[in-house]
A and B are shown apart, each in its own frame.
Chain A
Amino acid sequence: MASQQLAKNFKQSVVAALWLSFLTMPLMVIRVDTVEKTITWRWMHLLWMLVGSFVLALVWYFLMDRRDRGGANDGNLNTEAAPSRFSIWLNNPRVARPLMAFGLLFAVAFPFLFSMYQTNILISALIYVVLGLGLNITVGLAGLLDLGYVAFYAVGAYAYALLNYHFHLGFWAVLPLGGILGAFFGILLGFPVLRLRGDYLAIVTLGFGEIVRLVLQNWDAFSFGPSGISNIARPGFFGVTYSVSQATTYIYYIMLAFVLLTIFVTARLKDSRIGRAWLALREDEIACQAMGIDNTKAKLLAFAMGATFAGFMGVVFAAKTTFINPASFTFMESAMILAIVVLGGMGSIPGVILGAFLLMLMPEYMRAFSQYRMLLFGATMIVVMVFRPQGLIKARRKIYKVNTKPAGQA
C-alpha cells in the first residue's frame, strides 16, 4: 500500500518535473546574445531545473499524502472539535498566562529597546491587527465577503485630514468621529447589498471600495486629488510639544491600547447573543431567519461594527504618517487585510493577530529578498490554504458552563 503510493508519487513527480522543465526551457536554457549574434545552450540549467522541480514535487506529494491520511485516521466524531496538541498546550492557563504577561511586557518595553524605525514598523503591524480584527467581524463571523474594506479606512483617514486642515480639529476630537463615520459608511454599503451573497457581494463591495478611492482621487476641490493632504497634525498630548521620535513612541502606545481594546471588544462580541447570530447568518441564512433572527439587522450591524474599527484606524494612520493620498487606499490594501483574516483563520482572534504580524512583518524583515517578495507571499498563501484551509489558528467555539439544576421552562 505504502510502496504503491510511493511509486505513484514518484511517477507524478517525474511528470511534473519534465513538464515544468519543458515549459521553462526557452527561458532557462536558450540565451540569445544579440550583439555577438550567437545562441548559447545552457543545458546545465535544464538539469538543475529537472532535479529541483522533481525534489520539490516529491516533497509536495508526500505532504499532501500525509495530510489526507491524517484526515482519515481520526475520522470519527470528534475530528472537527479535536484541538491540536499545540493549541491544548497554548490553552493551558499555566502556559498562556506567563506567555501573555511576557508578551505584554515586551510590547510595553519595545520603544525603549528598539529604534524608532522598528517602532514605526510595529505601529503599522498593530494597525493591521486592528483592521484584521475588524474585518474578521464582517467576513470571519458574519460571512459577508467584503472586498472594499479599505474604503472605511480611507473615510477615517480623510475625515481626520480634512477636519484638521480646515478646522484644525485635533486627533482626539476626530477619533470617535472617525469610528462613527466608518459605521455610517458601513451601513451605507450594507443597505444595497442586503440581498447579495457570495461572489455577487464580493463584486459589489469591491466596486464600492474603488468608487470611494476614485472619488478621493478625482474630486480635487474636496480631497485635493492625487496630491493628497500633508502636514496633518500628530496626536496632541495636553498641549505639550514633542519631537518626532517621542511622537512615534506616543502613537505606539495609543496603538497598543487600541489593540488591547479591540481584542477585548471582539472577543466579547464573538461569544455573545449578537456574535452567535452572526455565526448563524454565516452558516445558513434561511435557517437563521427562520429561527427568528432579523437578517437585515444582523448584516447591517456586522458591516457597521467592522467598518467602525477601520474608521478608527484611518484616523490613527493619518496622524501617524502626517500625509495621506488615495494611493494608500487601493484594492491591494483590502486584499491584504482579507489575506490576514483568511491566513490567520476566519473568526479566530489569535489567528487574525498572528496573520497580521506574519503578513506585515515578514516583508519588512525579508528586504534582502525584496525581488521575490510577491512570489514568496503567493507561495506562502498557497501552501497554507492547501494544508490548513481553516487558517493558521482555527476558530473554536466556546464551551458554555451549564447550571444543571433544572432551569425554568423554555
Chain B
Amino acid sequence: MSEMNSAAVLAVRNMSMNFGGLRALSDVDLEVRAGEVVALIGPNGAGKTTFFNCITGIYTPTEGEILATARDGKTHRINGMRTNLVCELGMARTFQNIRLFPSMTALENVMIGRHCRTKEGIFGAIVRGPGTRREEQHVVDTSYHLLQKVGLEQVADEYASNLPYGAQRRLEIARALATEPFLLLLDEPAAGMNPQETLELKEMVIQIRHEFAVSVLLIEHDMKMVMSLSDRIYVMEYGRVISTGTPAEISADPQVIRAYLGEETDA
C-alpha cells in the first residue's frame, strides 16, 4: 500500500487536554493517511481513550487542532464538533468498554448505524409509503450484509446483551461500519479475546480495510496483533507521544522498550 505519499484523512496538531489540573494529553501530533492502519499504543492511563474522546467530540480539547478530510475531499476543523456530526462526517468508533444497545437485536444495533445516512421522518414513519418502505428494506439488507461481514448473521435476531463477548466486539465494528466511515476508530478491539479470536479479528480488520476502503486507527495492547497489522505506530506515555514509526522502528526504539514493550519482550 502506498501510504507514504497519500493524503492525511486525520491530522491532529499540538492537541492538549486538561481535566482541571490533570494534563491527560499534551502536545499530541498524530496523522492517519488514506488507507493506512495506524496503531496507538501505550500503558494504561497514557491517554489513548482520551485521545479518541477528543477527536470524536465527546471532549473539546483544551488546545490544538484536529483536521479531518471527509470522502468528498473537504477538510474540516472538528475541535469540539458535536459527536453525532463527527460520526456523520465519517469517523466512527467502538468503545473500550463495550457500549451496544443491549435490549435491541444485533441487526437493530447495526441498523442504528444507518440512521445518519437515511432520512425517514415522523410522517414517513406513520404513513409508511413506498419510499419509506424501500428505504427501510435497504437499511435492513445492508445491515444484514454487514453482519455477514463480521460473521454474526446467525444471531441477527438475538438481543445484543445475549451475545458472547467476542461477538459483541465484532458487532460494535459492524455498527460503526454501517455509518459509512472513512476512518474507523477501534478502542482495544481484542481486549478479552482469546488468541484464536484475536487472529480472526486481525484478518477481519485487514479485509474490512480493503473492502470498505477505510483507514483504521487502532488502540490495542496485543503486541502481536499491533506489529503485524499496522503500517505505523504511535507510542504514548503520560499523555505524550514518545515515539512514532513503522513496527520495525518502534520495536527497536530503546525509549519504547523501556516505557512499554519492556515487560512484553522480557516475558
Query: Which residues from chain A sit less than 8 Å from chain B, CB to CB?
Result: 77-81, 264-265, 268-269, 272-277, 279-280, 283-284, 286-295, 301, 305, 397, 399-404, 406-410
Contact = CB atoms under 8 A, between A and B. Distances in A.
Contacts of A276: 104, 108, 111-112, 115
A402 B156 contact: yes
A407 B142 contact: yes
B212 A410 contact: yes
B139 to A, nearest CB: 7
Given A79-B162, A277-B112, A291-B116, 18 more contacts: A77-B162, A269-B126, A272-B124, A272-B128, A275-B125, A287-B100, A289-B82, A290-B87, A291-B179, A293-B84, A397-B159, A399-B105, A399-B157, A403-B137, A407-B141, A407-B142, A408-B142, A410-B142
Contacts of A269: 122, 125-126
The interface centre, meaning the residue of B100, B141, B161 with most chain A CB atoms within 10 A of its CB, is B141
Contact of B116 (A80, A286, A292, A301): A292
Contact of B146 (A279, A292, A410): A410
Q: 7 closest Cβ contacts across the A-B interface?
A: A292-B116, A272-B125, A407-B141, A292-B87, A287-B99, A283-B101, A402-B144
A289 B122 CA distance: 19
Nearest to A265: B126
B51 to A, nearest CB: 15
Contact of A273 (B88, B100, B118): B118
B256 interface: no
B121 A78 contact: no
B180 interface: yes
B120 A272 contact: yes
B141 A403 contact: yes
A290 B159 contact: no
Given A280-B104, A290-B87, A292-B113, A402 B158 contact: no
Given A276-B111, A283-B101, A410 B178 contact: yes
B103 interface: yes
A277 B144 CA distance: 18
A287 B101 contact: yes
B262 interface: no
Interface in B124-166: 124-126, 128, 136-146, 156-159, 161-162
Nearest to B120: A273
Interface in B4-32: none
A76 to B, nearest CB: 9
A290 B116 CA distance: 11
A280 B125 contact: no
A276 B144 CA distance: 16
B95 interface: yes
Contact of A286 (B99, B156, B212): B99
18 contacts: A77-B162, A78-B162, A80-B162, A81-B159, A264-B126, A272-B125, A272-B128, A279-B104, A287-B95, A289-B87, A290-B84, A291-B92, A292-B84, A292-B87, A293-B84, A294-B82, A402-B107, A402-B156
Contact of B105 (A77, A79, A292, A397): A397
Contacts of A295: 84
A292 B177 CA distance: 12
B68 to A, nearest CB: 14
B215 interface: no
Contacts of A301: 122
Interface residues of B, number: 58
Contact of A291 (B103, B138, B140, B175): B175
B12 to A, nearest CB: 18
Contacts of B122: 269, 274, 301, 305
Nearest to A402: B144
B225 interface: no
Contacts of A292: 84, 87-88, 92, 113, 115-117, 179
A84 B118 CA distance: 35
Nearest to B160: A283
B101 to A, nearest CB: 4
B141 A293 contact: no
B243 interface: no
B69 interface: no
Nearest to A305: B122
Contacts of A289: 82-84, 87
A294 B142 CA distance: 22
Nearest to A266: B126
Contact of A407 (B101, B145, B175, B177): B145
A289 B92 CA distance: 11
Contacts of A274: 120-122, 125
Contacts of B103: 80, 279, 283, 397
A399 to B, nearest CB: 5
A80 B163 CA distance: 11
B205 interface: no
Contacts of A294: 82, 84
Contact of B115 (A79, A291, A397): A291
B93 interface: yes
Contacts of A77: 158, 162
A332 to B, nearest CB: 30
B225 to A, nearest CB: 23
B147 to A, nearest CB: 9
Contact of A410 (B137, B157, B177): B177
A286 B172 CA distance: 14
Contacts of B125: 268-269, 272-275
B56 interface: yes
Given A81-B162, A274-B125, A291 B113 contact: yes
Contacts of A410: 114, 142-143, 145-146, 177-178, 180, 212
